[in-house]
Amino acid sequence: MKAFVLDRYGSGDNVRFGEMSEPEVRANDVLVEVRAAGVNLLDSKIRNGEFKLFLPYRLPVVLGHDVAGVVVRVGSRVRRFKPGDEVYARPGTDQIGTFAEFISISEDDVAPKPESLTMEEAASIPLVGLTAWQALIERANLEKGQRVLIHAGSGGVGTIAIQLAKHVGATVATTTSTANVELVERLGADVVIDYKKDDFERVVHDYDVVVNSLGAETLKKSLRVLKPGGKLISISGPPDPAFAKEIGSSRIFGPATRVLSYPIRRAAARRHVSYSFLFMRASGDQLREITSLVDSGIIQPVLDRVFPFESTKEAMAYLEKGRAKGKVVVKVRS
């Protein structure tokens, strides 16, 4: 099969378009013919080697973390899917590789594709949808009447998180650029902070939750807008000891997380709030919950651009510029 393959860590030049063996289908796996694949900054971070301490892939590896497609074969123990089913997924970390014509995925990580979406729209949702769900519903336990600040509201995670938080009944603030103010307002943001004009820490205060996807300075400032007992959840790091324990990390990575996250954990403790790092995990059950919200019109995908399969490297480079509104998707097959 044709695929985009990482041969060694480094720049985009280390990703090649070539032939790979069709993936093995284990007893609990479904083999999916890929129709579309979402592009995420996670792909670039893995390519650059930023996560090799806790995601030690054996190279060469096929990149890609979002998929929508059609089941073509199932393992002997699969009961929930059959050939011909339209599905979508964020594969588990040991089965990534959606930038390919086929991918094998555990049935536990797969869900039926939302009927209301095209393959390209569906492929834009799994990773960012699960990230938003796990940050707001699972980690923050966000409730009606609470207030949440979602940084980078026009990005992939932000566009879904705003809609999900509004569905819960929270008051939503978000940061964005001047060009994207109208977009985040349309998605439901109650308070929109144009970071080119205003400093968010001077606009909002006494919030229950902050979801951060930006850098260290934004992370530190975010502590100041939380009320005592508030929660700062970061998907951009630094990783903390709880995360290291969750993944059963190496003797090197575990102590490293204590050192890397110590300043922000100490600052959080001083303000009587909590800090946690979130690295989303695959979950077909949670995707089913998201599917119902999509098909009922509560959550709508936001697509910036759709690239042809052959231009996957260009799609990754485009996303890395940081100007995409919503998600970037690769169309693998019609």
Question: Which tens digit of pLDDT belongs to each residue from 201-230?
Answer: 999 999 999 999 999 999 999 999 999 999
Q: What number is the average pLDDT over the span 22-26?
A: 97
pLDDT of residue 221: 97
Domain(s) of CATH 3.90.180.10: residues in the chain: 2-124+301-331
Counting every residue written for the chain, the total comes to 334
Decide if pLDDT at 319 tops 80. Answer: yes
Q: What is the mean pLDDT of residues 237-242?
A: 92
The ranges of the chain annotated as CATH 3.40.50.720 are 127-277
Task: Kindly tell me if the per-residue pLDDT of 87 is higher than 70.
Answer: yes
Q: Averaged over 185-214, what is the pLDDT? A: 97
For the cut 70, the answer to whether the pLDDT of residue 250 exceeds it is no
242: nearest Cα among 257, 227, 226: 257
Fold classification of 2-124+301-331 (topology level): Quinone Oxidoreductase; Chain A, domain 1 (3.90.180)
**Do 176 and 200 contact (CB within 8 A), yes or no?**
no
Helix axes 126-133, 284-295, angle to 10 degrees: 100
Contact in structure between 276 and 139 (CB atoms under 8 Å): yes
- Mean pLDDT throughout 91-106? 97
Closest CA to 48 of 304, 326, 316: 316
Cα dist from 327 to 190, 192, 299, 302, 330, whole Å? 22, 20, 14, 6, 10
Superfamily of domain 127-277: NAD(P)-binding Rossmann-like Domain (3.40.50.720)
What is d(CA 216, CA 155) in angstroms, rounded to the nearest whole number?
18
